[in-house]
Amino acid sequence: MELRLALLGCGNVGHALLEMVTEKEHDLLRRFDLRLSFTGGLTRSAGGWVAPEGLTARQVLSSGWPLGELPTGSVPFAGDGVAFAAACPADALVELTSLRPQTGEPAISHVRAALASGRHVVTANKGPIAHAYRDLRELAAEHGVSLRFESTVLDGTPIFNLADFTLPVTRILGFRGPLNSTSNFVLSQMMAGASVEDGVTAAQRAGVAEADPSYDLDGWDASVKAVVLANVLMDADLRPADVKRLKLGAQAMRTAVAALKPRATLKQMVEATRGADGHVEASVRLVPLPPGDAFAHLAGMETGLRLRTDTMGELTLIEGEGGPGQTAFGVLTDLITIVRGLAPSVRRGPPSGGLGR
Ligand SMILES: NC(=O)c1ccc[n+]([C@@H]2O[C@H](COP(=O)([O-])OP(=O)(O)OC[C@H]3O[C@@H](n4cnc5c(N)ncnc54)[C@H](OP(=O)(O)O)[C@@H]3O)[C@@H](O)[C@H]2O)c1
Please name which of 306, 68, 25, 17 lies closest in space to residue 172, comparing C-alpha atoms: 306
Those residues whose C-beta lies under 8 Å from the C-beta of residue 68, and which sit 6 or more positions away, are none
Distance (Å, whole) CA 355 – CA 263: 55
Distance 119 CA to ligand 1 centre (A): 20
User: Residues 108-113: what's their mean pLDDT?
Assistant: 98
Given this model, what pLDDT does residue 356 score? Answer: 32
**Does residue 349 register a pLDDT over 50?**
no
Half-sphere exposure of 17 (CA within 13 A, CB side): 33
- Please give the distance, rounded to the nearest whole angstrom, from the Cα atom of residue 96 to the centre of ligand 1: 5
Ligand 1 atom closest to Cα of 153? Answer: 6
What average pLDDT does the structure give for the chain? Answer: 94
Q: Are 122 and 90 in contact (CB under 8 A)?
A: no
Amino acid at position 256, single letter: A
Q: pLDDT for 185-234, tens place per residue?
A: 999 999 999 999 999 999 988 877 777 889 999 999 999 999 999 999 99
- Kindly indicate the confidence band of residue 357, based on its pLDDT and cuts at 50, 70 and 90: very low
| Mutational pocket test of ligand 1: of 17, 44, 111, the residue with most ligand atoms within 8 Å of the beta carbon | 44
Relative to beta strand 244-246, strand 280-289 is parallel
**Residue % of the chain over a pLDDT of 70:** 97
Q: Sheet holding 75-77: strands in order across?
A: 75-77, 47-55, 35-43, 2-8, 92-95, 120-123, 147-148
Task: Pick the residue whose CA is nearest to atom 44 on ligand 1.
Answer: 98
Q: Around Cβ 191, how many Cβ atoms within 10 Å?
A: 14
Q: Report the pLDDT averaged over residues 274-292.
A: 95
pLDDT band of residue 346 (cuts 50, 70, 90) is low
What is the percent of the chain with per-residue pLDDT over 90, rounded to a whole number?
A: 89
Q: What is the mean pLDDT of residues 269-291?
A: 96
3 state SS of 14: helix
Would the pLDDT of 44 be above 80? yes
- By alpha-carbon position, which residue is closest to atom 6 of ligand 1? 155
Collect all residues with Cβ–Cβ distance below 8 Å to 245 and sequence separation of at least 6: 218, 219, 220, 223, 283, 284, 285
Digit-coded pLDDT (tens) for 56-103: 999 999 999 999 999 999 999 999 999 999 999 999 999 999 999 999
Q: What's 248's DSSP letter?
A: -
Q: How many CA atoms lie within 13 A of 247 on its CB side?
A: 13
Q: For residue 353, what are the CA distances in angstroms to 100, 141, 169, 211? A: 34, 20, 35, 44
Q: How far is the CA of 346 from the centre of ligand 1 (A)?
A: 26
Region 301-329: what's the mean pLDDT? 95
Sheet with 314-319, strands from edge to edge, namely 244-246, 280-289, 265-274, 172-177, 303-309, 314-319
352, pLDDT greater than 60: no
Are 343 and 160 in contact by the 8 Å Cβ rule? The answer is no
The ligand 1 site (C-beta within 6 Å) comprises: 8-14, 42-46, 66, 81, 96-99, 106, 124-125, 151, 155, 323-324, 327
Give residue 208's pLDDT: 78
The per-residue pLDDT for range 134-150, each reduced to its tens digit, is 999 999 999 999 999 99
Report the alpha-carbon distance of residue 283 to residue 295 in Å, rounded. Answer: 17
Mean of pLDDT values over 249-274: 96
Least-confidence region, from 118-122, 178-182, 198-202, 348-352 = 348-352
Ligand 1 pocket: which of 10, 13, 18 to mutate (most atoms within 8 A of CB): 13
Neighbours of 61 (CB within 10 A): 17
CA triplet 324, 77, 131: central angle to 5 degrees? 50
Atom of ligand 1 nearest to the CA of 323: 3
Amino acid letter, 133: Y
Residue 211: per-residue pLDDT: 77
Q: What pairs with residue 317 in β-bridges?
A: 305
**Residue 342 pLDDT grade (very low, low, confident, very high; cuts 50, 70, 90):** confident
Peptide bond connecting 240 to the previous residue in cis, omega within 30 degrees of 0: no
